[in-house]
Structure 1
Amino acid sequence: MTPRISPVTQVVAIGIGAALFVVLGLVRIPTPIPNTSINIQYALLAVFAVLYGPIAGALIGLIGHIILDAVSFGSIWLSWEIASGVFGLLLGFLMLRNRVMEGEFAGKDIVRFVVGVVIAQVVAFLVVAPLGDILIYSEPAGKVFAQGAVAALANSITASVLGVIILSVYARTRTRTGSLTVGS
């Protein structure tokens, strides 16, 4: 079971996570779909959601994306900021009771993580972001669902691949539960 994380630790994780989300979000690989790019910050968001839970994941995604858009574009696009928060929230919930901090992340945990990333990305960027674009900004449905599909696919791949690597390495740095024995 995941150890209890103090509120102070969560607040610090949210602040650091949001700041790193902004920094990593400045690295964008363009796609043929307008205003849609391949982003690596969702791997970081996935890692923080796994380690610190759904509330931290939601706030890191929401706050980090708001700041990133404000810094990068001079304005925010609320439907996509909300989608980033939804991604962190959903993945955090789907990965509750993980044992990464106890040094365990292999096999079933990796499959659970990758499936969780894909589910959370699809909900966030193929449902929440496009519907928000249509309802808030009156954007054309075809355009925003195409953007959402490309974002969900690209983010699923980058977050899964980089997230598995980061979580696997991190788990190896932790003392495994039951790995220490008392000598005679």
Structure 2
Amino acid sequence: MEKNISIKTIVAIGIGSAVFMILGRFGAIPTGIPNTNIETSYAFLALMAVLYGPIAGFSIGFIGHALKDLVSTGLPWFSWIIASASVGLILGLSWRKLKVNEGDFEKKEIILFNIYQIVANSIAWLLIAPTLDIFIYAEPSNKVYLQGIAAAISNSITVGVLGTILIYTYSKSRVKKGSLDRE
């Protein structure tokens, strides 16, 4: 783990949080389950976490979701903010294994990425968010676990499709390590 956060990572956190907030506010599709949407913001969070690591992923998920809540309802919902941060953290743990910045994101890496994102979404939305909803806000368990199931499924599909496309497209813009010959 790096001792200092680079300026590049700090800038990525700032820009990433703003984009997460905008996508969360304007790029969400209602599922029909109260307060639960299909969120394009998690595909973007996945890209940023894979590119900049766990600190950036955690920070973008936390700050971006908090800003989205403040802008949309005026009240931060901390159980889901913490869940979003955990998605970013877990996805960020894959950044050294995936090496997307080196132009590598083929079948093996796509499968590994999707294992990470399904685990991240499952932990966040089936465990963290509903459990904290019950402990922090005294929400009824049947309601919050239904919301959690909907969020886990919709976010896993969104990240699996849009996140994979974003990361794959980004990786193709990078020069593969060792692909340039010296003349």
**Alignment-mate amino acid for residue 103 of structure 2:** G
Alignment of 1:9-28 (within 5 A): 9-26=8-25, 27-28=27-28
Q: CA deviation at 1:6?
A: 5.9
Q: CA deviation at 1:57?
A: 0.2
Question: Please, what TM-score do these two structures have when normalized by structure 1?
Answer: 0.94
Residue equivalent to 2:121: 121
Say which SS state the counterpart of residue 96 (structure 1) adopts. helix
Q: Is the CA contact 2:13–2:60 (under 8 Å) kept in the aligned structure 1?
A: yes
Q: Indicate yes or no: 2:162 matched with 1:173.
A: no
For residues 174 and 165 of structure 2, the distance between their equivalents in structure 1, rounded to whole angstroms, comes to 15
Say which SS state the counterpart of residue 97 (structure 1) adopts. helix
Q: Percent identity?
A: 49
Q: CA deviation at 1:134?
A: 0.3
For residues 94 and 179 of structure 1, the distance between their equivalents in structure 2, rounded to whole angstroms, comes to 23
**Alignment-mate amino acid for residue 10 of structure 1:** T
**Alignment-mate amino acid for residue 35 of structure 1:** N
For residues 176 and 70 of structure 1, the distance between their equivalents in structure 2, rounded to whole angstroms, comes to 41
Q: CA deviation at 1:129?
A: 0.2
Residue equivalent to 2:41: 41
**Alignment-mate amino acid for residue 14 of structure 1:** I
RMSD (Å) for aligned C-alpha atoms: 1.2
Deviation readout 1:70-111 (Å, 9 max, x if unpaired): 000011110000000000001111343321101110011000
Q: Is the CA contact 2:51–2:101 (under 8 Å) kept in the aligned structure 1?
A: yes
Say which SS state the counterpart of residue 176 (structure 2) adopts. coil
Residue equivalent to 2:52: 52
For residues 6 and 14 of structure 1, the distance between their equivalents in structure 2, rounded to whole angstroms, comes to 11
- Structure 2: 5+ residue stretches without partners: none
Question: Please, what TM-score do these two structures have when normalized by structure 2?
Answer: 0.95
For residues 41 and 24 of structure 2, the distance between their equivalents in structure 1, rounded to whole angstroms, comes to 5
- Structure 1: 5+ residue stretches without partners: none
Residue equivalent to 1:152: 152
Aligned residue pairs, count: 179
Q: Is the CA contact 2:46–2:159 (under 8 Å) kept in the aligned structure 1?
A: yes
